[in-house]
Structure 1
C-alpha cells in the first residue's frame, strides 16, 4: 500500500512542475511542433473588442437616419427588397440632383419677377405738358427767297420734298433766327387756367410770365407762375411743365380739376407746304426732357379736345438683374442734366448723337442743345474759346458730315441704342382723347367777346373764320386717382432658392437640413475621425507589442 502511494505521488510532482513551467512560459501553450501561441487564439475571448468598419457604420446610419428609403435599402430584409429600395433611392437621388442643378442655373440667370398693382391716391402731382405748332416757319418771317423755293419745290417734289428742303433751310440758320422764324408763345396762348373758375382766367393770365426753354430751336417756351416764395414752372410753349423744384398737385380727378388752354395756331401764318394744321401735345414727367418730334397727340383747330390721363410708375432693377440706369449717376450720358432734367433713354440717345457730331464734325447739330462744357466733359475734345458752333449745313463739308452721322444714327451704327438703357424709375401717362366742335353757333358771340377782352387777338377781323381755322380749346385732367405700379423684383432670393431646393430634395428623398447634419456626422465623425482614431490606436498597440517582444 505504501509503495502504491509513493508511486502515486511522483506523477503529481511532475504535474506541479509542468504547471510551474507553464507559468514561466507567460501563459503560452506549446503546439505539437513546439511553437507557442496566445490563449486568446483558442477561446476567441477578444472578438468583442474588434472596431467596426465603413460598411458597418453605413449600415448603422441607414437604420437611424431620417432620410426616407435608406433604412429599407440597408436593412435586414430580403435581397430583392433591398435591391428594390436601393434602386428607388438612387433613382430619386439622380432626379433630385438634376432638379437642384436646374434651380441653381435658374438662380444664376438672375430672373426678374414683374408685379402690377393699383392703389388709390388722395392727390396726384400734375405732369408736364409739351405742345408745339405743326407749322415750323411763320410766313411773315420767311424770306422771299424761301417762300419762292417752297412754292417751286411743292410743284416739283410734293410736300415731303418741301419739308426736307425747309428743314435744311431752318437748320442752316443760327439759333436766334430759328426762334424768330417760329411761332411765338405770346401769340399762341390766348388764356389758360388750372383748376380755377372761368371768371379768374384773365386774372391768372396776368400772373404768368414766359421765358425761353429750348433755346436753339425757336419752338419751345417756358411759362412760369410765381407762387409764395418758389418759382413754380407751369407751362412751356412746346412744353407745359409743373415744377422740378416743387410740384403742382390736384386733389380731385375730372375736367374741372385739370388744365385748360385756349390756343391760337395762327393759321394765317402757315406756309403753303403745311398740309396739316394744329398743335402736337406731349404729356410726360416733369423731370423728363420733352421731344415732341418723337411722339405726342395732334390737336386740331375748331374743336374742344379733352385728354384724360392715367399715371403708371415703373421701377426696374439695375445690375446684376438688369441694365437700367439710376437717375443722377449718368451726367455724361445726358446733355440736358445741367438744365435740371433727369435721365431718359431718349435724352441719352440724342446726347450720344450730339457727342458723335461734335467729335467728328467739330460742331453741334442745330436740332439739339449744344452744351459746350458737357460735350467737352463727355468727349474729351477741347472747345474753341468762343464755344462750340452750330453746324452750318450751307457748307458742303459740314452738311455731309452731319448727314452721315444721322444715317449712322438711324441704322444704330453709333451704338447709341445699346449705350442707353432704360431708366430705373420712370413715369408714363396713358391718354384717352375725345373731341367736340367748339364753339357752337349759339356761343360764338360770347366767345368772341371773351377773346376781345383778352387783347391777345386784336388783329383778328373775321372771328368766325378765326374760330374755325385757328382757335382751339384743350383740356387735360386725371381720369382717376388710381395709380398703377409696375415693379420688378428678383425672382430668386436666398430664401426662395433654399425653399425650392429643400422642396425638391424633401419631396423626392425626405432630405432636410437635419439629414444633412446626420450625413456630415457620418462622414466626419464616424468614418473620418472614428476610423482614423481607431487606426491610430491599433498602430500604437502594435508598436507596444513589438517592443514588449524584444
Structure 2
C-alpha cells in the first residue's frame, strides 16, 4: 500500500462524510461524468472562495475607512474667532508720525539703534511715497476741510510734525482752546523728555496756545479752514502723474508687485517689532483733531456689538497679530486670551451675531502697488487656530454692508494605522518646540514651518510671507527681489521652491484628526443708504448737528468720503445644525469575521462547523501517513535482515 493509495482512501472517506456541497456529490456519484462535473465545479468555486477570502484579509490589514456625513442639531454652539485686517499694510500718517518721533529720539539720544531705525524709516517713507501723498494733499488743501476722521486726521498730524511755531510742536492733534497750559498738554502726552523740552521752549519763546495750533478759521464759512504753509513740506515738490502718457509701456519682465514687495520686506523686517506695529492701522487712534469742536478720533475698528452689547474694549476680547501682507490684524474671541465675552449662542440670525463696522481710511493708503485693493479682509476660524487670511479670508468692499451667515462643519479623521494617519497635536510632529503660539494643530501651519526649516537650512534665510509662524520672526529673510543683480538669495529661493513643490523635501505633516470649518454665505448691500448717511455722520461725530443742512457740494463730498472709507458686516449662525464628516473604520472585529464567513459561504457554503471537518481530515491524513512511514521502515528493516548473508557460517562451510 503506497502513499497515493493512502491519499485516495482518506480523501474518499472524507468526501463521503463531509457536508461541503459539491465535494460530497462528486465522491458519492456513481457516474464518472457526474463525478468529473462535480469535481470541476468544486475546484473552480474553491478558487473563487480562496480569492475572496484572501481579498478580505488583505483589505482588513490595510485599515480602510468609510466616510459618513451626518447633520446633527445642537442646542448651542461656541462662537468662532473673527480676525480682521485692513488691505493696506502701512498707514501713511502713522508712518510719517513715527518717523518724526524716532528722529526726535535720535536727536536726544543718537545711538546705533535709533540711527538705524530712522534710516530704515526714511527708506520706507520713500518707498511707500507716504510723505509725497500727504504733502501733495496739504499743498492743495486750501478749501473746505472735512471734520472728523475722513481727512482732517492726515492734515492735523502733518501740522503736529511740521514744528511750525515752537521748536517742539507740543499740541499734537489737540484742541487749542481745550488746554490752557503746556504743562498740562505734556502731561497728557506722558512723555518726560518731550515735557522738559516743551517747557523750556515755551518759556523761552513765550508761545501762546492759539499760535501753536497754526490755523486761521474763516468766519464766513464755519467749515472752511486755511492752513499756513507747512515747513515740513517746504522745498518738496512732487510730480503729479497723469492717467495716460499717450502710449502704453512695455510689460515689465518681472511682476512689479514682486519687486516692490521684496523691497518692502527688506526694509520692514529690519525694523523693531514695536515700530512694525506702530506704523500699521491701529485698533484705536491716539491722536485727536485740531478743530474748534472737540472730537474723538476713530481707529480701524469703529464699532463692535454682540447681542446689543459693545465688544469693542481692546483689553477685554481682542488680540493683535502683525502679518507681513496685511499689517496689524485684530482677532476677536481668540483662545490666546482667556477673558472673552463671546462664549456660545443658541439662537440664529443677525440679531444674535456680531455687528462690526470699520474705518478703512483710504486717504492714508500707501501710494504703490502694495495697496492695489481697498477694503477689509475678514477670517472666520476656530479660536485656537492661526488666522490664515490668504487661504480663508473674505474681502469686504468699502461702502457696503456684508451679511455673513455661517454653518459649522466638523471633519473627524482616524489616526495611524488608518490611511489618513492624522495628527491630533503638535507632539506627533518634529516641530513641537516651534509651535508655542499655535495651540491647535494645522497641516497648513505645519507645512509652512517645514518649508521655513528647510529653506533656512538650504539658503540661510526664511520666507518673508510666513516668517511670523514657527518662531522665525527674528531670522534673516530671503531677498526675493527679482531684479537684484547676482541675488543669490533669489536664485536659491527659486530653486528651493521648485524642488519643494515637487516633493523633494520630506515634511512630516499629516492632516488634522479634528478640523473645524465654517462655510459662509455672503450677501452684499450698499451702506450707508442715501437716507442714513447723515445719521451715521452724526453718530460718528463727523459733522456738527448745528451746521446742518450742509451745502450741496459739501454734502456730496461727505457722502463720497463715507462710502469710500466705511465698511460694515454682520456675522451670525445661519443654522444650529452641524455638518459632521467623519471617518469610521470599515471593519470592526465583528464585521471582519462576518466578511470571512461571507467569503467562505458564498461559493461553497462553508460554515464554521465545516472547519472542524477539514481539521479532522487533516488529522486523519497525517496520522495515516505517519503510520505508513513508521510501519514501512520496520518492514524494510526486517526484510533486509533476512536477506543479509551469515559470513561466519559460510566460512565454517569451507
Q: 1:439 maps to which residue?
A: 528
Distance in 2 separating the partners of 1:296 and 1:486? 23
Q: 1:192 aligns with which of 304, 308, 329?
A: 304
Larger-gyration structure (1/2): 1
Per-residue CA deviation, residues 56-109 of structure 1 (Å, 9 max, x unaligned), is 332222222121111111115222222221121112112222333333443444
Q: Tell whether the 8 Å contact from 1:208 to 1:223 is kept in structure 2 after alignment.
A: no
Which region of structure 1 is more displaced relative to structure 2, 59-68 or 268-277? 268-277
Q: What is the Cα deviation at residue 439 of structure 1?
A: 1.8
Superposed, 1:85-484 pairs within 5 Å as: 85-140=38-93, 141=95, 143-144=125-126, 146-147=128-129, 161-173=255-267, 174-175=270-271, 176=273, 177-186=275-284, 187-194=299-306, 196-197=307-308, 200-201=309-310, 205=313, 208=316, 211-214=319-322, 219-222=327-330, 231-233=338-340, 248-273=343-368, 274-320=371-417, 321-330=419-428, 332-333=430-431, 337-369=435-467, 388-390=475-477, 400-402=488-490, 404-405=492-493, 408-409=496-497, 412-413=501-502, 415=504, 419-452=508-541, 463-484=558-579
Q: Secondary structure at the match of 1:441?
A: coil
SS at structure 1 position matched to 2:410: strand
Q: Distance in 2 between matches of 1:357 and 1:534?
A: 74
Aligned CA RMSD, in angstroms, stands at 4.1
Distance 1:118 1:106 in 2: 29
| Contact 1:72 1:82 (8 Å CA) reproduced | yes
Question: What is the CA distance between 1:123 and its match in structure 2?
Answer: 1.0
TM-aligned CA distance change 1:370 to 1:131, over 3 Å:
closer
Whole-angstrom CA distance in 1 between matches of 2:614 and 2:531? 92
SS in structure 2 at match of 1:103: helix
Report the equivalent of 1:10. none
Contact 1:360 1:401 in 2 (8 A): no
Q: Name the SS for the 2:541 alignment partner.
A: helix
1:308–1:431 CA contact under 8 A, matched in 2: yes
In structure 1, the partner of 2:225 is: none
Q: Which runs of 5+ in 1 are unaligned?
A: 1-51, 235-241, 243-247, 377-386
Q: Secondary structure, in 3 states, of the residue corresponding to 2:593?
A: helix
Q: 1:252 to 1:181 in 2, by over 3 A?
A: same
User: In the aligned structure 2, how far is the partner of 1:464 from the partner of 1:183?
Assistant: 23
For 1:480-495, list aligned pairs within 5 A.
480-495=575-590
- 526-535 or 167-176, which moves further after superposition? 526-535
Report the 3-state secondary structure (helix = DSSP H, G, I; strand = E; otherwise coil) of the residue aligned with 1:67: coil
Deviations 1:120-152, CA, capped at 9 Å, x for gaps: 111111122222211223233262454279988
1:132 and 1:473 mapped to 2: Cα distance? 13
Other structure's SS at 1:213 match: strand
- Kept in 2, the 8 Å contact 1:112–1:488? The answer is yes
In 2: Cα distance, 1:158 partner to 1:265 partner? 31
Report deviation, 1:305. 0.5
Structure-1 residue corresponding to 2:14: 61
Q: Verify the 8 A CA contact 1:151 1:272 in the aligned structure 2.
A: no
Give the distance between the partners of 1:398 and 1:421, measured in 2 at CA.
37
- Aligned pair partner of 1:512 in 607, 628, 633: 607
Q: Secondary structure at 1:332's aligned position in 2?
A: coil
Q: CA deviation at 1:179?
A: 2.9
Q: Deviations over 1:175-216 (max 9, x none)?
A: 53443332222221011022x22xx43x86476465542377
* Deviation for aligned residue 1:477: 1.1
1:532 equivalent to 2:620? Answer no
Q: What is the alpha-carbon distance in structure 1 between the residues aligned to residue 487 and residue 523 of structure 2?
A: 43
Contact 1:392 1:398 in 2 (8 A): no
Say which of 81, 102, 127 aligns to 2:34.
81
CA distance in 2: counterparts of 1:278 and 1:60, whole angstroms: 89
> Is residue 113–residue 491 contact of structure 1 (8 Å, CA) maintained in 2?
yes
Measure, in 1, the Cα distance between the counterparts of 2:241 and 2:352. 49
Q: 1:254 to 1:388 in 2, by over 3 A?
A: same
- Separation of aligned partners in 2, 1:421 and 1:104: 27
Q: How far apart, CA to CA, are the structure 2 residues paired with 1:304 and 1:503? A: 61
> 2: CA distance between counterparts of 1:88 and 1:300?
74
TM-superposed CA distance for 1:435, in Å, is 1.1
1:341/1:216 Cα in 2 relative to 1: closer, same or farther (>3 Å)?
A: farther
Do the aligned partners of 1:178 and 1:217 also contact (CA within 8 Å) in 2? Answer: no
Question: Aligned residues, how many?
Answer: 463
Check the 8 A contact 1:217/1:366 in 2, yes or no.
no
State the distance in 1 between where 2:637 and 2:491 align.
94
1:523 maps onto 2:618 in alignment: yes
5+ residue gaps, structure 2, are 96-123, 133-237, 285-298, 545-553, 642-654
Shift of 1:347: 0.9
Moved more, 301-310 or 124-133: 124-133
Deviations 1:303-340 (Å, cap 9, x if unpaired)? 11101111111122333323433323245346762114
Counterparts of 1:139 and 1:158 in 2: how far apart (Å)? Answer: 29
2:339 alignment partner, SS class: strand
Distance 1:396 1:180, change over 3 A: farther
